Amino acid sequence: MKARVTVMLKSGVLDPQGEAVRHALGSLGFAGVTGVRQGKVIELDLAATDRATAEADVTAMCEKLLANTVIESYRVEIL
C-alpha cells in the first residue's frame, strides 16, 4: 500500500521560500501571481494491507516526525 503526505506551513506562518518563488515568477513576467506557499510531498510504501491501519500509522508518523505540527499542517492520502 502507498501513502502520500502533503505538508504545508500553516496560514499566517511566514513562507520565505514561497515569497522567493513569487518574486522570481514576477521577474520572469508572470505578474499575475499574488501569493505562493511552498510545501513538501512525502510518498511512503507501506507493508500494511488494511486502509484504516495504514492511515492511522501514517498519521502517527506525521505527528512524531514528518510534520512540525506547531507551524505545519499535513494531509494524508492512502493510494
List the pLDDT tens digit at each of the 79 positions of the chain. 999 999 999 999 999 999 999 999 999 999 999 999 999 999 999 999 999 999 999 999 999 999 999 999 999 999 9
What's the confidence (pLDDT) of residue 17?
96
Q: What is the pLDDT of residue 3?
A: 98
CATH number at 59 reads 3.30.1280.10
Q: Count of domains in the chain?
A: 1
Residue 14: predicted pLDDT: 95
48 vs 13, 33, 67, 77, CA distance in Å?
Answer: 34, 41, 21, 14
Q: In what order do the strands lie in the sheet with 39-45?
A: 39-45, 2-9, 72-78
**What pLDDT score does 18 carry?**
96
Structural domain for 57, as ranges: 2-78
| The pLDDT of residue 43 | 98
